[in-house]
Structure 1
Amino acid sequence: MIPGEIRVAEGNIELNAGREAITLMVGQPRRQAGAGRLPLSFRRGECGAGFRSGAARGRRLDIPAGTAVRFEPGQRREVRLIPVGGAREIWGFNGCIMGRL
């Protein structure tokens, strides 16, 4: 192995296989464009992303690491959300959850 080398399996890799996903229509109510990278608004399930849905609480965007979903002012789009994994604990993010989901 060469330092820094990344080895991956042959064929296609399915991200988040078997994770329960939901689809929501969300929008950008602000006057400035924004990108959903670490989607605090989805984890809180509040109107920061132009919607209000308890179904989004504790979920994140179903997108590959290092990518984002861009929202132009007034734009609405459908996004896929999956549950936050691991220990299902969220800390920080303006103190909206601060603990186990």
Structure 2
Amino acid sequence: MIPGEYRLQAEPIECNSGREAIAVEVVNRGDRPVQVGSHYHFAEANPALDFNREAAHGRRLDIPAGTAARFEPGDSKTVKLVALAGSREVYGLRNAVNGSLDAGSGKNDGGAAAAAEGPGASKEGTAQ
């Protein structure tokens, strides 16, 4: 092996293979760009983003780890979301869950309450 050399396999790598993905229309209603990282609980994303937060509950972007999606002011785009795996627990972020995504608790509203104060507060976005 040569120092710094890359050894890549010939076959393409498929991210999130076998995992169901949903499509959600997202609009940035704010006046600044918004970026959302690959493993961020999408339902708790910036309140300036207008989309169906209930459909996004327990999901993250279907993009490679370490990358992000950027939404410019006024932009509208459809993103694919996959279910969070592992223990399915979310803590911090916008404090909408702070525990199990699957437990029925009053605070577990998919991030809707955390977004209720921002310009993207409506639930008019649609999951496809």
State the TM-score bracket (shorter-chain normalisation). Answer: 0.7 to 0.9
Deviation (angstroms), 1:46: 8.8
- Residue 14 of structure 1 corresponds to which residue in structure 2? 14
Q: Give me the whole-angstrom Cα distance separating, in 2, the residues matched to 1:35 and 1:46.
A: 9
Partner SS state of residue 94, structure 1: coil
Residue 121 of structure 2 aligns with which residue? none
Which of the two has higher C-alpha Rg? Answer: 2
- Provide the rounded CA distance (Å) in 2 between the counterparts of 1:54 and 1:60: 13
Contact 1:46–1:52 under 8 Å retained in 2: no
How far the C-alpha of 1:58 sits from its partner, in A, is 0.7
Q: How big is each residue's C-alpha offset from its partner over 1:55-95, in whole Å with a ceiling of 9 and x where there is no partner?
A: 11010000011211111101100000000111111111121
Matched to 2:55, the amino acid is: A
> Under a length normalisation based on structure 2, what TM-score does the superposition of the two structures give?
0.65
Partner of 2:82: 82
Who is 2:72 aligned against? 72
CA contact (8 A) 2:59 2:84 kept: yes
Q: How does the TM-score come out when normalised to structure 1?
A: 0.81
- CA gap 1:96/1:14 in 2 versus in 1, 3 angstroms: same
Q: Structure 1: any 5+ residue segments left out of the alignment? A: none
Match of 2:24 in 1: 24
Residue 10 (structure 1) shift? 4.1
RMSD: 2.6
Unpaired runs of at least 5, structure 2: 102-128
Instruction: Report the count of equivalent residues.
Output: 100
Residue identity over aligned pairs, in percent, reads 42
Q: In the TM superposition, what is the alpha-carbon distance from 1:11 to its structure 2 partner? A: 1.1
